[in-house]
Chain A
């Protein structure tokens, strides 16, 4: 389908992103400008940056793909993911922002190092854990970009990955968070407007909302129920899913670092509701598009390609049939690319920050000058893109599973040290180290056993009733409580400096 009009539209989009990168690069004078945009983000740039960061490759391809495969029991994903922005702002953002104003945090690891009086051990562990989970998550993003480019340009996977990597890498490396934030503003507007126009067309083409629901109910009655009777998306699983998405995404380093870049704390007042309504509407429409795609496949309107992750193509084929105009397909491809790239760029920048700021500047070479730290950030952005591109050569069978694995690891690793640090004065350095390291290790082990459907110690990890990350999350909580109670408390001075206590904001 790669006609000249399509190539022009997609190329224009890529050039616009590079233009933003070049413009943003002129605003960067130091590392703080590069990593936290000089703490100058306004309300709408912040809200759309948060939506763009949370809205990933899964949001368009994986969400509709999962809707196609499992129906209404998966709808909770469309509630908990938009809610994660509010959870991040309310439970982490307000306090972190307030403390960061006086302490000058650039990354969330700065906070952990300060709060737990652990400038080396916990900072390094948090940075390494952040890099691992971000890389897992990035592989999912590049897979999504490749799906779109293969569909639109009919090019081999490796070439699709190279194109995607070069463009995203270029504007992120030169423009830092200024470029990422302004690119996300454009990308989120494209995404929201595009989905609000195009998804109803797919649903209408499949016969309308009521017809789609009635039809999928005849295929399998469980597809229109709010949860499955057992197994995945049964009630207990949905409970763990709420924790996974609502809290796991909220505490992910690439999401939480955004709260450090906002200009004024008053923007936190309405950001949670505005983000939930805007992004929730988009996510609901995408899920319904997946249901509509199932109807179209069953009615013989189109057939999905014979590849392992066929369901992830459903929205692309749906739009192709609902709107038989080539130029509109290209516009839709740009929408998907916008959604994916808005997360990918933020993840690469976060990895750059963790290596250059947390590991190099704060641990390995404290005397390093700002110029070298800035240069290293840019080099790491480039390297992380190349490493992820290589890891993405063999795409996973289902995009959603890989991305949840990344979020699950973030949940088990970061949620407890952050929440306990912010709200419990009894949480100690040793408790945080135990909680973070055990959470990370068990999330990776349980994730591996679940993904490869291993049976061990009498447990079939393919059919465990809760999402695997929940078990690792519980281990992380227990480790924090037990070890903290047995070790020496953080000094009162630091607890007061970091505003630790059972409150969100001193009003």
Chain B
């Protein structure tokens, strides 16, 4: 099994922190983009 580097601050492997926070940030940016560009009428 590959060596897992621990993120000491959160008590989690780095891959967990990066994977989860990465997906959350991408979603927030996408929804922010939607809000900024949607004009609200057809």
Contact = CB atoms under 8 A, between A and B. Distances in A.
A394 interface: no
Nearest to B36: A269
Interface string A237-275: 000000000000000000000000000111011101100
Contact of A269 (B12, B20, B24, B40): B40
A237 to B, nearest CB: 15
Contact of A225 (B11, B16, B41): B16
Nearest to A276: B31
Interface residues of A, number: 35
Interface string A55-86: 00000000000000000100110010001001
A76 B24 CA distance: 10
Most chain A CB atoms below 10 A, which of B19, B39, B42: B42
A370 interface: no
Contacts of B31: 86, 272-273, 276
B34 to A, nearest CB: 6
A226 B10 CA distance: 14
A507 B38 CA distance: 9
A251 to B, nearest CB: 18
A266 B16 CA distance: 37
Nearest to A213: B11
B11 A90 contact: no
A265 B41 contact: yes
A272 B34 contact: yes
A499 B38 CA distance: 17
Nearest to A280: B24
A225 B15 contact: yes
B11 A505 contact: no
Contacts of A76: 23
B29 to A, nearest CB: 10
Given A79-B23, A266-B41, A210 B34 contact: no
Contacts, number: 77
A49 interface: no
B5 interface: no
Contacts of A505: 38-39, 41-42
B2 to A, nearest CB: 11
A19 interface: no
A372 interface: no
Contact of B27 (A214, A269, A276): A276
Given A224-B12, A226-B16, A270 B35 contact: yes
A94 B32 CA distance: 16
A226 B19 CA distance: 7
A265 B11 contact: no
A72 B4 CA distance: 16
Interface in A345-368: none
Nearest to A98: B42
Contact of A224 (B11, B35, B38): B11
A90 B37 CA distance: 12
Given A86-B31, A276-B28, A225 B13 contact: yes
A375 interface: no
A224 B13 contact: yes
Contact of B10 (A83, A213, A265): A213
Given A79-B23, A213-B12, A224-B13, A277 B42 contact: no
Interface of A: 72, 75-76, 79, 83, 86, 90, 94, 98, 209-214, 217, 221, 224-226, 264-266, 268-270, 272-273, 276-277, 280, 499, 505-507
23 contacts: A75-B20, A79-B27, A86-B27, A86-B34, A90-B34, A94-B38, A94-B42, A98-B42, A214-B11, A217-B12, A221-B4, A224-B11, A224-B16, A226-B16, A226-B19, A265-B40, A266-B40, A269-B35, A276-B31, A505-B41, A505-B42, A506-B42, A507-B41
For the complex of A and B, list the 3 residue pairs with the smallest distance between their C-beta atoms, beginning with the closest: A213-B11, A266-B40, A214-B11
